[in-house]
Structure 1
Amino acid sequence: MLPESPPQVPAESGVYRFDDFVLDTPNYELRSGDTVVRVEPQVFDVLAHLVANHQRVVTKEELFDSVWGGKFVGEAALTSRIKAARRALGDDGESQTYIRTVRGRGYRFVGTLATSADPVVAAAPPQHISFCRAADGVRLAYATAGDGPPLVRAANWMTHLAYDIESPVWRHWVSDLSEGHTFIRYDERGCGLSDWEVGEFTFADWVADLESVVDAIGLQRFPLLGVSQGGAVAIEYAARHPEKVSHLVLCSAYARGRGVRAVSQEEQRAAALDLDLARVGWGKDDPAFRQVFAAQFLPDGSRSDWADFDQLQRRTTSPENAVRFLTEFAAIDVRDAARRVQCPTLIMHSRNDHRVPMQFGEELAELIGGSRLVALASNNHLLTGVEPAWQVFCDEVRRFLAISP
């Protein structure tokens, strides 16, 4: 049985106004008038979670799960973040104008929120975050959102369960795919709310992690979605567990990583450049290095889109893990597994994908017998919520999943 979601108040635009303050969660910014109020990331996360759930008391345990991913930290750590959040708002423990302590239970945001004048963005659905252990003991975080039959997304790079429902990069994926389904996603080892400090970091581990999440939830048969490198994980899982996967949906996916498919010297240099950029630039405050990735993943994006993507990169994993991810991605080769996939398969790929060219989506369609390939009118590797290709993607997924295998 899938876990029930706790009552949560979703943000309609991710922008909250109260008195002279604006809490802008998509841009990860707190402003007082025209002045940006500098707060540490964990202080911002605590404040954002309290404001988003202003209609109820938020327990300390929920804050530990949301901000620290359930990792063991002393209560003093939470107390210091609450104190810093109050200080940023000109509040204190005596007046408690904005953040009220509910003794024995937790905290509640008690400021009066104004109606946002910003355009309304699709509301983030309530979600429930849980944890399980992989076979080697690594802790994995997974989330469920929506109601209906399950739809599982194999983990892919740069996700954070607590942040994705606010991030413009992933928000529309969660809100739209949870309509009519219980949408299940998880952070792969090394990023998000899952353990960052892990001993093993291989493709085989990623497949085993998907197996662990499926077993923890108790799923019997379900459609499986794979995006980007998560597509290779989904392909391997579907080949190993034909009794589990009813439908396979792949988007921006590939069978061979950049290192495997690099034939010319130019392609080999480009693959090596990925690693060099991550080694040199990931942890720097200057976003110039990371913007190379933004330009590849979202070439049609605005500067705001690139800034959102940069925030996603910085928040989801460490510089060391970014290099480890890219090293393993480059070595992926699931061509043999793709030939063994038995379930109905829908492959969607942007015609002018700058990160993974269309030819590799075509290669997947050739490898997976009976699959259907849909070319999307987009240049983006990750589809944005405002481009027409996103609606085409959603419509194709709904029609495909409605067909009995």
Structure 2
Amino acid sequence: MSGALYHFGPYELDTERRRLSHDGEQVHVGPEALDLLCHLVEHRDRVVPARELLDAAGHGRADGDAALAGWLRTARLAIGDDDTGRRSIRTVSGRGFQFVARTTAAGTGPSRPTARGTGAAAEADREVIRFCRSADGTRIAYALTGEGPPLVKTANWLTHLDLDRATPMFAHWFDGLTRGRQLVRYDERGCGLSAWEMGSFTLDDLVGDLDSVVDAVGLDRFPLLGVSQGGAVAVAYAARRPERVSRLVLTSAYARGRLIRAGSDAERDAAEVDLSIARAGWRSQDSSFLRYVASQFLADATPAEWDAFAAYRRQTTSPANGARFLEEFARIDVSDIAHRVRCPTLIVHARDDARIPVSQALELATLIPDSRLVLLDSRNHLFTADDPAWPTFLSHLDTFLSE
């Protein structure tokens, strides 16, 4: 098979040059383990028998099972597989091994569908990850998923295009949002596959990043979805680019960050404490702090799910960037331009959202002229797959976009 450049998570595998990199830094791997990894990635659409792997890595040498086990262990360690459940190379009992991490091949379009996770079905939809440059030269990664009329989703804290759909907490979002349409999403500057050295980080920059993505995709007019703080960016974009946004959907969104909307000393103190706890968690990576933040996003989840959420977030960006995101979004404010949104707007919010109070949804509905408000019975800031509010949200979304 001819050489290609493959991306999975923070890793890049150049099968022609036989080079593995992690966030741009070369990972030194023994030749046998590297050959084994290349073979698995190139044949990721099937289970590779042990004998075939031994031939590919040992080049005909009869080293046996012990050598293969050693090479597999080396390859797994090189790409971050561990004993806590993270598995890019899956063992299929009695059959062999399969590479199951979501993978894109640079310059060759979307990867072939592969099974992900334990017993997961192969994905039938199409996805391709591409890159563009924002006005200030920042690299922005974006993805096209599914087929049909477009739905553009603004970036929100925090994402990683190459990992999101393999994360059980978010997989249902993509299944639901791509139902009969093509979802356009992107990683915010500073996280995921976009450039982590983000420099300036203003509302103007975030609006400019969205402009760059839709220009790269070739969209003139489209519906726009904003989730959480991505809702503020969506409001700003719709207000500034009314000719491009046909419909606006805001979910768990707000016009003013917590520090901005604090109206009393007690509220300002609470906002500062909340920000300090979250900042300490990101900088120290202390699990108790990170679990506190996770519990605000997923109020009805279990402690194990909070830990999984925190572990995922740690993969999306650096501690310094994570702290900076929190500080900037606590001060974001689009309340002075929300009245300029002219397109029909659907605002959906959980009545008991543990992260963003329902008063913020009421404020958005008051500020945006042609808006309708739907309140759902839930405590989750991000609707989970088993949350009764989730199918209700999708039903309202589908009805609104089809009008």
Q: Normalised by the size of structure 1, how large is the TM-score?
A: 0.75
Are 2:255 and 1:255 aligned?
A: yes
Q: In the TM superposition, what whole-angstrom CA distance separates every residue of 1:259-282 from its partner, at most 9, and x where no partner exists? A: 110122232122222432243221
Counterpart for residue 303 of structure 2: 303
Change (3 A) 1:197 1:271: same
Counterpart for residue 47 of structure 1: none
Preserved contact between residue 69 and residue 193 of structure 1 (Cα < 8 Å): no
Instruction: Choose 188-197 or 115-124, whichever is displaced more.
Output: 115-124
Percent of aligned pairs with the same amino acid: 48
Counterpart for residue 67 of structure 1: 10
Counterpart for residue 80 of structure 1: 28
CA–CA distance in structure 2, aligned partners of residues 126 and 117 of structure 1:
18
Post-superposition offset of 1:241? 1.1
CA–CA distance in structure 1, aligned partners of residues 145 and 2 of structure 2:
19
CA–CA distance in structure 2, aligned partners of residues 320 and 274 of structure 1:
17
List gaps (5 residues or longer) in structure 2: 41-49, 73-88, 101-114
Counterpart for residue 96 of structure 2: 111
1:289 aligned counterpart, secondary structure: helix
Aligned partner of 1:260: which letter? I
List gaps (5 residues or longer) in structure 1: 1-56, 101-107
Counterpart for residue 221 of structure 2: 221
CA–CA distance in structure 2, aligned partners of residues 376 and 142 of structure 1:
30
Aligned partner of 1:216: which letter? A
Post-superposition offset of 1:312? 2.0
Change (3 A) 1:81 1:236: farther
Preserved contact between residue 125 and residue 174 of structure 1 (Cα < 8 Å): no
CA–CA distance in structure 1, aligned partners of residues 397 and 289 of structure 2:
35
Post-superposition offset of 1:308? 2.2
Q: Normalised by the size of structure 2, how large is the TM-score?
A: 0.75
Aligned partner of 1:268: which letter? R
CA–CA distance in structure 2, aligned partners of residues 125 and 265 of structure 1:
51
Q: In the TM superposition, what whole-angstrom CA distance separates every residue of 1:8-56 from its partner, at most 9, and x where no partner exists? A: xxxxxxxxxxxxxxxxxxxxxxxxxxxxxxxxxxxxxxxxxxxxxxxxx
Q: 1:180-195 to 2 correspondence within 5 Å?
A: 180-195=180-195
CA–CA distance in structure 2, aligned partners of residues 305 and 234 of structure 1:
29
Change (3 A) 1:174 1:117: closer
Structure with the larger RCO, 1 or 2 (CA within 8 Å, 6+ apart): 1
Preserved contact between residue 134 and residue 140 of structure 2 (Cα < 8 Å): yes
Preserved contact between residue 124 and residue 175 of structure 1 (Cα < 8 Å): no
Are 2:211 and 1:211 aligned?
A: yes
Q: Which has the larger radius of gyration?
A: 2
Post-superposition offset of 1:330? 1.4
Post-superposition offset of 1:334? 0.8
Change (3 A) 1:117 1:132: closer
CA–CA distance in structure 1, aligned partners of residues 290 and 359 of structure 2:
26
Change (3 A) 1:135 1:58: farther
Aligned partner of 1:303: which letter? P
